Amino acid sequence: DSVASRGLGDVYKRQINKRFEELEVVSFTKPGDIVNPELHDALMMRTEDGKDENEILEVFEKGYRYKDKVIRHAKVVVNQTPS
């Protein structure tokens, strides 16, 4: 990867984010959130000590919402406590 291509990628991301803001499309989900089946697709379960049951450990893809409608579910890894 060249410096120029990384720079162009950053410019492209900023333009996309600005356009999403103008259209009222917002991303959601970050590690530490609790999984919600209406917003998240759990791709994997993993056990990590010190984390809550159903806590999101990792985000593979951000979710996006337009106003109150989910237009893409977030793809996440969720903590599962041993039973």
Q: Convert the pLDDT of each residue in 5-64 to its tens digit.
A: 788 888 888 999 899 999 999 999 999 999 999 999 999 999 999 999 999 999 999 999
Q: Is the pLDDT of residue 74 over 90?
A: yes
Q: Which of 35, 39, 33 is nearest to 70 (CA)?
A: 39
More confident residue, 82 or 51: 51
Q: Distances from the Cα of 46 to the Cαs of 3, 7, 52, 70, in angstroms? A: 36, 35, 12, 25
pLDDT given for residue 82 in this prediction:
80
pLDDT given for residue 24 in this prediction:
93
d(C-alpha 24, C-alpha 79), whole Å: 31
